[in-house]
Structure 1
């Protein structure tokens, strides 16, 4: 069996390497073609060197075609994995630090809130170009597997405007499934779930053990858990008030809703600083910065470590390899996928990108009917979908009026800022990121004039309620294993 896969943004060492291991652990896939492309020749060289060594050590005769020429990498590709981060850490820093001046305190900033919306503006503009290249160079039946955030916005734009068959993939459902099993004293395989909603706001509407729905037991179980009771305070409070557990981590979820990060003096009541993802201000930016610095410094040591073993028991939980296996071999796989709704969840809009159970086999990716979400969770999702729709249309058309409306409708931004502050914040973010926002040239020119000539609304020199210092390479070297793990967490997408 042979076909071609291409990775766009392949210079993310841990993520690309792990996905490739998963794919090449499938016995039927050991004669496929592999292409890597990235805008950074340096990162591309490093990831290719490491992955090529893994391939050789596993006795496979596959030579990775690595190139900075994206179109060349896409030629005849049947599957395209997208893991880009447009603008890298330079742009990401603006996503976090400019909103902080206006009191918008984000932990991650890659899905909603001010940072997620701007991340989408950069990403969608480039994804439309990538989709054009895919249409012109790849296999006519190509499938785009999108791992890049903001997941729903990016997948929405690729499907509607990029005109490429796209599935959005995330591991949030798997992680929450493990947590539910843990608090119930079960193994993951012993808990059957139905999880539905939108990416990063997907709800476990059913969790059964031995055929009995345990959803009503989850609140007490999480409240009594020795670590989750401290690490997942926002998720537990949402469970308490909406009746269902949500997929995303404490830090992620806290910035998607208006209640937990709007008052600086209250933020510490809801977060935990034992790990960045539990709510640290700018936590993902810090870990990404440390991860990049560590990877560049420590890369020679990675080559000294044992190669990955391509075995079934070593496959990770990412959906990608299992989707390919289902499509190519007919082996049935059940996962949770991001696709256009089209009536799957009946009280969410048909045009939205929803996340829900799906099945894969030779007939394709099939999404069964879910029906209505509970009213409360549906209401939370519908607010976010309104923001996503505005942000997608703004990015595609370069319409800063829609962009500003997306910011106003965003739950956290709207809870913290008034309209004048939002208008000025958008001006600042557009100007700061103009090199990645070519669709906004006219709007950026007008914003620059306003910022230079009009009286400015005072802003704060604010570092956030729970900001930690970026560690130096020397400090990270004191705990090499933790630093390596951080680099793995942080590297999805190009640095």
Structure 2
């Protein structure tokens, strides 16, 4: 069995190495073709060396094609993994720091809120270029497996405007599934779930163990847990008030809704600083920066560490390899996938990207009808979908009026800022993102004029947020190399949280 798999954004060590391992644990895939592409030659070289060493030591003869030429990498590809971060950490920093000046305190800023909206503007512009190259260079039946955020926005744009069949993939459902099992003292494999909604706002609307419903006692089970009662306060409060547990981490969830981060003096009531993912201001930016700095510095030692083992027990939980395995071998896989709704969830818009249970086999990806979400969770999702739709259309058409409306409609931005502040914030973020926003040329020119003439609204220019932690130096990270390696090498940087303690 031979086909070609291309990784776009292969310099992302956290995703690329793990996804490749997962793929090559499938016995039938020992002769596939693998192509790595990234715009950063040094990152690409390091990740290629590391993965080629894994391949060699596992006794396979696959030779990675490594190139900075995207069209060459895509030539003949049947499956494409996308893990890009347009603008890198430089642009990501503006997604966090500029909104802070206006009092918008984000933990992550890559899915919704001010940071997620602007991240989507950069990402969608480039995803359309990637889709063009896929249409022209890849196999006719190509499938794009998108891991890049903002997941829903990018997947929406690729399917509607990119002309490429695209499925969005995330690991949030698996993590919450583990938590639900844990608070009841059960194994994940013994707890059956139905989880549905939109990416990062997916709801466990059913959880059963041996036929018994687990949802009724879930708030009490979480409140009894010694760790989660402290680290998941936002999620537990949402569970209490909306009746269902939500997939995303405490920090992530807190920035998607208007209630937990709008007053700086109350933020610490809802978060915990034992791990960034529990709500630290700019936490994801910090750990990504530390991970990059560590990998670039410590790479020679990575080449001396034990290789990744391509065995079934070492295979991860990311959906990508299982989807390809199901499509190619016919083995049935059940996962949760981000796709165009088309009636799967009947009380969410048909054109929105939803996340819901699906099955994969040789016949394709099948999405059973979920029906209606409970009204409360559906309302939370619909508020986000309105922002996503505005943001997607803004990015496609370079329409800064729609972009500003997306900011206005965002739950947290709208709770913190008035319209004039939002307009000025968008001006600042457009100008800061100029190198990655080709569709906004005229809007950026006008924004520059406004920012350099007249009287600007006052901002908190030195505000660090309610819970900002400084980026660790490489010397500090050397004190715990295992934790530093874990941070740099994992796609899910909230995994094994006890090893990420500050």
Question: TM-score when scaled to structure 2?
Answer: 0.97
Deviation at 1:24, TM superposition (A): 0.4
1:31-64, CA deviations, whole angstroms, 9 ceiling, x for partnerless residues? 0000000000000000000000111111111100
Distance in 2 (CA, whole Å) between partners of 1:92 and 1:383 is 24
Q: Which residue of 1 aligns with 2:496?
A: none
Distance in 2 (CA, whole Å) between partners of 1:212 and 1:133 is 50
Q: Which residue of 1 aligns with 2:139?
A: 139
Deviation at 1:378, TM superposition (A): 0.1
**Paired residue secondary structure (2:216):** helix
Deviation at 1:490, TM superposition (A): 6.6
Q: Which residue of 2 aligns with 1:226?
A: 226
Deviation at 1:227, TM superposition (A): 0.2
Distance in 1 (CA, whole Å) between partners of 2:483 and 2:52 is 25
Q: Which residue of 2 aligns with 1:149?
A: 149
Q: Which residue of 2 aligns with 1:481?
A: 482
Structure 1 pair 269–23 and aligned structure 2 pair: CA distance change class (3 A) = same
1:248 matches 2:248: yes
Distance in 1 (CA, whole Å) between partners of 2:282 and 2:489 is 18
1:342 matches 2:335: no
Within 5 Å, give how 1:319-468 maps onto structure 2. 319-460=319-460, 461-468=462-469
Distance in 1 (CA, whole Å) between partners of 2:289 and 2:420 is 32
Distance in 1 (CA, whole Å) between partners of 2:424 and 2:490 is 33
Structure 2's unaligned 5+ residue stretches are: 494-502
**Paired residue secondary structure (2:355):** strand
Distance in 2 (CA, whole Å) between partners of 1:414 and 1:383 is 12
Q: Which residue of 2 aligns with 1:165?
A: 165
The answer (yes or no) to whether the contact 2:171–2:492 under 8 Å persists in 1 is no
Within 5 Å, give how 1:147-296 maps onto structure 2. 147-296=147-296
Q: Which residue of 2 aligns with 1:469?
A: 470
Relative contact order, CA 8 A, sep 6+: which one is greater?
1
Distance in 2 (CA, whole Å) between partners of 1:14 and 1:489 is 4
**Paired residue secondary structure (1:448):** helix
Distance in 1 (CA, whole Å) between partners of 2:310 and 2:480 is 28
Structure 1 pair 490–315 and aligned structure 2 pair: CA distance change class (3 A) = closer
Between the two proteins, the alignment pairs up a number of residues equal to 492
The answer (yes or no) to whether the contact 1:78–1:143 under 8 Å persists in 2 is yes
Q: Which residue of 2 aligns with 1:11?
A: 11
Between stretches 480-489 and 102-111, larger displacement belongs to 480-489
Deviation at 1:313, TM superposition (A): 1.1
1:442-491, CA deviations, whole angstroms, 9 ceiling, x for partnerless residues? 00000000111121000012100000011111011111111111112479
Distance in 2 (CA, whole Å) between partners of 1:310 and 1:351 is 39
Distance in 1 (CA, whole Å) between partners of 2:322 and 2:470 is 39
The answer (yes or no) to whether the contact 1:287–1:490 under 8 Å persists in 2 is no
Distance in 1 (CA, whole Å) between partners of 2:139 and 2:283 is 39
Distance in 1 (CA, whole Å) between partners of 2:410 and 2:332 is 38
**Paired residue secondary structure (1:206):** strand
1:259-317, CA deviations, whole angstroms, 9 ceiling, x for partnerless residues? 00000000000000000000000000111111111001111111001111111111000
Deviation at 1:14, TM superposition (A): 2.7
Q: Which residue of 1 aligns with 2:75?
A: 75
1:61-80, CA deviations, whole angstroms, 9 ceiling, x for partnerless residues? 11000000000000000000
Distance in 1 (CA, whole Å) between partners of 2:47 and 2:378 is 41
Deviation at 1:391, TM superposition (A): 0.2
Distance in 2 (CA, whole Å) between partners of 1:85 and 1:455 is 35
The answer (yes or no) to whether the contact 1:341–1:353 under 8 Å persists in 2 is yes
**Paired residue secondary structure (2:358):** strand
Distance in 2 (CA, whole Å) between partners of 1:431 and 1:211 is 55
The answer (yes or no) to whether the contact 2:395–2:439 under 8 Å persists in 1 is yes
4+ long deviations beyond 3 Å: 489-492
Structure 1's unaligned 5+ residue stretches are: none
The answer (yes or no) to whether the contact 2:103–2:416 under 8 Å persists in 1 is yes
1:141-177, CA deviations, whole angstroms, 9 ceiling, x for partnerless residues? 0000000000000000000000100000000000000
Structure 1 pair 456–416 and aligned structure 2 pair: CA distance change class (3 A) = same
The answer (yes or no) to whether the contact 1:404–1:422 under 8 Å persists in 2 is yes
**Paired residue secondary structure (1:425):** helix
Give me the CA root mean square deviation: 0.8
The answer (yes or no) to whether the contact 1:195–1:205 under 8 Å persists in 2 is yes
Q: Which residue of 2 aligns with 1:118?
A: 118
